[in-house]
Amino acid sequence: MYKLIGIDMDGTLLNSQKQISARTQSAIQAAKDKGVQIVLSSGRPIEGLRAYLDQLGLNSEHDYAVHYNGSFVENVLTGEIIRQQVVSAADVKTIGRTARSLNVNTHAFSQILGLITPKSSKYTQLEAQINHIDIHEVDFETLDDDHPMIKAMIVDEPEKLTQAYQNLPAAVVEKFTIVQSAPHFLEFLNPQSNKGLGIQAVAERLGIPAEAVMCIGDAENDHHMLEYAGLGIAMANAMPQTKAIADYITASNDEDGVAQAIEKFILV
């Protein structure tokens, strides 16, 4: 019996209209009624999860969320941080310089200023829109080295991003956990930060072994948690490399894939 389900947001839990379908909400509630812990695990900040956590009733002192791709694991009600691994301002400057050298756009998340970018692009605007947060134009080079950061991102057209990914300097690749969360988002995290470690932190807090964990995702940033889980499930709309590591492939996010997976493996 699976006792914890880690669920990615965009492309997984949410359909193309950024909504949770009635069938999916019903399946999640039925799993909760059976005592299964539901954990939303996303590259979004916690602000971008709140409305969905409230919609699903995942807002009690017993609920946890993994956000910023595992940089933070947080008690949803109390705000207690049970795990935190972030990057430094010096790291963000490195990514900014790398982005300039590769002729792609960049933004980052500051613990004080929120979403910051040297120059706003349509994908930074998309990030702000999705998460209902403001954009602050900040030259990364002006940040003090002790300025508290969270993560950095390279954001651009998918073709440009793919080329930039392939041409990242070896020193950068070795220094960060690098995950692609969308065709236009490439994320640079603390090397000890990923969704797998985030879900593991919740499971250990609750005394749940990895074999009793099920995780569902659609993109490269979900790989660590799919590999950690006793059962890793990819969406039909997932990246090919995500499907390749999954134990099972469910329907797409527009076909209630999360609901179908819960019905098959939990509600039996």
Q: Is 15 helix (H, G, I), strand (E, B) or coil?
A: coil
| Active-site annotation holds for 247 | no
Residue length of the chain:
268
Bridge partner list, 160: none
Say which of 8, 63, 218, 222 is annotated catalytic.
Answer: 8
Cα gap 244→98, rounded to integer Å: 30
Pairing of strands 177-182, 185-189: antiparallel
DSSP H stretches of helix in the chain? 22-33, 50-55, 89-102, 122-131, 158-166, 170-175, 195-206, 223-228, 240-245, 257-265
Q: Cα(first)–Cα(last) distance of the chain, in Å?
A: 10
Cα gap 47→143, rounded to integer Å: 24
Active-site annotation, residues: 8
